[in-house]
Structure 1
Amino acid sequence: MLPLDVPASQPQLCFGTVRHTRLRPVRNAFAYGNYYLRLPLRSLGSKDFGCALFSRNRFNLLSFVDRDHGDGQQPLLAWIDALLKSEGVADADGEVWLQAMPRVLGFVFNPVSFYFCHRRDGGLRAIVCDVRNTFGQRHFYLLDTGWEIDFGSELTARKVFHVSPFCKVEGGYRFRFTKLLRDGHERTLACIDYDDADGALLQTSVSGVAADVSNASVARAFFCFPLMTFGVVLRIHVQALRLWLKRVPFFSKPAAPNQEVTR
C-alpha cells in the first residue's frame, strides 16, 4: 500500500469501473466503465492543465470548472480550508486531492465527489464527501477520526440526506478507501455501503487506474466513454425505472437537512 506522503502532484485521469448492488427487497446490480479526475488542489493552484483537449474554466472536450465544486463562489482551497476549520479540523494543511468527474462538452453531474485532505507531513487528516441528488440538492459528510485516517479502515456517517426515492433517510453509510501501487500504476478504490434499519441494503464502489492528464488520456476518455456525464444521469433514471417495475417501495423526497455538513 502506498504511504500517503509519496509525492504525486500531477493531475490524473483514472479509468475504471462503477459497481452498484441492491440486496433487497429484490436484487438489482449493475457495473459500467467510467473515468474520473484526481486533482491536487494546493499543487495545482490556479494553473491550467497544459493540455489542448482539457481546459480549466473554459469549454473543451473535457473541462474542470471551479464553480462546479465547493460553494461555487470562493476559491476551492479557501472554501475547503474554511469548512474544515469551522468543523474543528485545523491541521489539514497539506495536499488536498479532489476526486470528481469532469465536464464533458460542458455538462457534468457528480453524484459524489471526495476531498482527501492531508496534513503537511502527508497523513490523511479528513475526507469530505460532497453528495448530490437529481433534485439539485447537495450535502457534505465530513469523515474525521480526530487525528489520522488509515487507508483501508472503515469510516461511518449517519444518513441525513435524500439521494434515492427507493431508500429511506435512515441508517448510515460505511466508507472504505484504498490506494495501491501495482505494476507501476496507482490504483484507487472507494467503497460506500449503505445500511438501513434492517441491515445491509446497498453496496457501491468506484475504482480506477491513474494516468497523467494528456491529450492521449483525454482522447481515450472522450472516445472510449462517449458522453459519459450525460450517461450518468441517463443510467440513474434507467435504474430507477427498473426498481419501479420490480415494485420496490417508493419514498417521496423529504425536506433537506438543516445542516450543510454532518459527521
Structure 2
Amino acid sequence: MTMDASIFRTSISHVRRSPLKNAFTYRSYSWFVDLDHMPRLPFLLRPLAVFRAGDHLGDPGASIRANVERYLRTQWVEPDGGPIHMLTSARVFGYVFNPLTLFWCYRSTGELQCVVAEVHNTYGERHCYLLRTDPSGRASVPKAFYVSPFNDVDGEYRMKLPAPGDRLAVSIILEREGHRPFVATMDGRRRPATVSNILAAAFAVPAAPLLVSALIRIQGIKLWARHLPVVARPPHTSQEAVQ
C-alpha cells in the first residue's frame, strides 16, 4: 500500500528582507513518492491523501510520470525510463494547494538527470523550472513566474534541492543586484508512510493544504496592511506541456 512512499513532517520558513522585513514559519508535511509506485491508501484513509495528475503539470488524463517526461522533452531532455521521485502535498478532503512540487528525474543508471520545480501561485497558475543541479544540489535560474503580489518577476532564484535522504533540506533564495529580498526554506525528517505515520501527520496538521493556503493569504493581508506596494500581475503565458 505505502511501502514505496514516505512522509516528511516539515518546518517551512518565509523571510522577506526588503522593502519590508517580515518572517513567518509554519509546520506542514509532504509526501515523497516514486511515480512508478504511487501510494493508494485504504478506503477509510483515502480522504487524507489522493494524488491526481490534474493537480500537476500537463494532461490531467495522463499519468504524472508521462506528463513530467513530456515536459522534459520540450526542454530537450530525453528520459530513458529511470525513476522519477516527487515531493508534494496530496489532496486532503478534496482540497489541494501546492506552492512547490519537486521532481528528481534519474537516468536508468541511477544518475540524477535533472530536477523539475513546479511552482503554483494563488491565482491558479503554474510554471516549471528545469534545473541542472551540481553535486550539492545547487542551481540557479532566472525568475520567470509571478508568485507574490508584492514581488515582480525580476531577479534570479538560487536553489538548493538535494535529493532527500533521511532529512529534507530545501532552500530558495531570490537574488537581485547583490541583495536577497526573499528566502524560503523547507526542512523535515523522513518517516515511512505507514498508517500510523499518515494519521499522526494528519492530526498534527489538520487539512494541511487548506491551512497552508490560508496562512499564505493571511500573511499577504498583513503585508498589504503595512502598505507594501502591490505589483500588478502580468499576463501568464502557459508553457508547453505544463498547462
Question: Is TM-score (shorter-chain normalized) higher than 0.5?
Answer: yes
Identical residues among aligned pairs (%): 27
Q: Is the 8 A contact 1:151 1:177 kept in 2?
A: no
Q: Say if 2:60 is the partner of 1:69.
A: no
Q: Tell me, in whole angstroms, the C-alpha distance in 2 between the residues paired with 1:234 and 1:22.
A: 18
Q: Tell me, in whole angstroms, the C-alpha distance in 1 between the residues paired with 2:80 and 2:127.
A: 21
| CA positional deviation for 1:260 | 4.5
Alignment counterpart, residue 141 of structure 1, candidates 129, 135, 146: 129
| CA positional deviation for 1:96 | 0.3
Q: Say if 2:43 is the partner of 1:49.
A: no
Return 5+ residue gaps in structure 2 as ranges: none
| CA positional deviation for 1:213 | 1.2
Q: Say if 2:134 is the partner of 1:174.
A: no
| CA positional deviation for 1:190 | 1.1
Q: Tell me, in whole angstroms, the C-alpha distance in 1 between the residues paired with 2:182 and 2:120.
A: 17
User: Cα gap change, 1:97/1:54 in structure 2, threshold over 3 Å: closer, same or farther?
Assistant: farther
- TM-score under structure 1 length normalisation: 0.84
Paired letter, 2:211: G
Paired letter, 1:217: N
User: Which residue number in structure 2 is paired with residue 195 of structure 1?
Assistant: 175
User: Which residue number in structure 2 is paired with residue 219 of structure 1?
Assistant: 199
- TM-score under structure 2 length normalisation: 0.90
Higher normalized strand content (fraction of residues) = 1
Report the 3-state secondary structure (helix = DSSP H, G, I; strand = E; otherwise coil) of the residue aligned with 1:82.
Answer: helix
Q: Tell me, in whole angstroms, the C-alpha distance in 2 between the residues paired with 1:235 and 1:241.
A: 10
Q: Say if 2:221 is the partner of 1:241.
A: yes
| CA positional deviation for 1:226 | 1.1
Return 5+ residue gaps in structure 1 as ranges: 1-8
Q: Is the 8 A contact 2:67 2:241 kept in 1?
A: no
Q: Is the 8 A contact 2:4 2:39 kept in 1?
A: no
| CA positional deviation for 1:237 | 1.0
User: Cα gap change, 1:158/1:217 in structure 2, threshold over 3 Å: closer, same or farther?
Assistant: same
User: Cα gap change, 1:77/1:214 in structure 2, threshold over 3 Å: closer, same or farther?
Assistant: same
Report the 3-state secondary structure (helix = DSSP H, G, I; strand = E; otherwise coil) of the residue aligned with 1:249.
Answer: coil
Report the 3-state secondary structure (helix = DSSP H, G, I; strand = E; otherwise coil) of the residue aligned with 1:108.
Answer: coil
User: Cα gap change, 1:180/1:170 in structure 2, threshold over 3 Å: closer, same or farther?
Assistant: closer
Q: Number of aligned pairs?
A: 239
| CA positional deviation for 1:151 | 4.6
Paired letter, 2:125: Q
Paired letter, 1:111: P
| CA positional deviation for 1:92 | 5.1
User: Which residue number in structure 1 is paired with residue 13 of structure 2?
Assistant: 19
Alignment counterpart, residue 92 of structure 2, candidates 104, 129, 133: 104
Q: Is the 8 A contact 1:142 1:261 kept in 2?
A: no
Q: Tell me, in whole angstroms, the C-alpha distance in 2 between the residues paired with 1:180 and 1:137.
A: 27
**RMSD (CA atoms):** 2.1
Task: Report Cα offsets for 1:225-248 as digits up to 9, x if no partner.
Answer: 112111111111111011112222
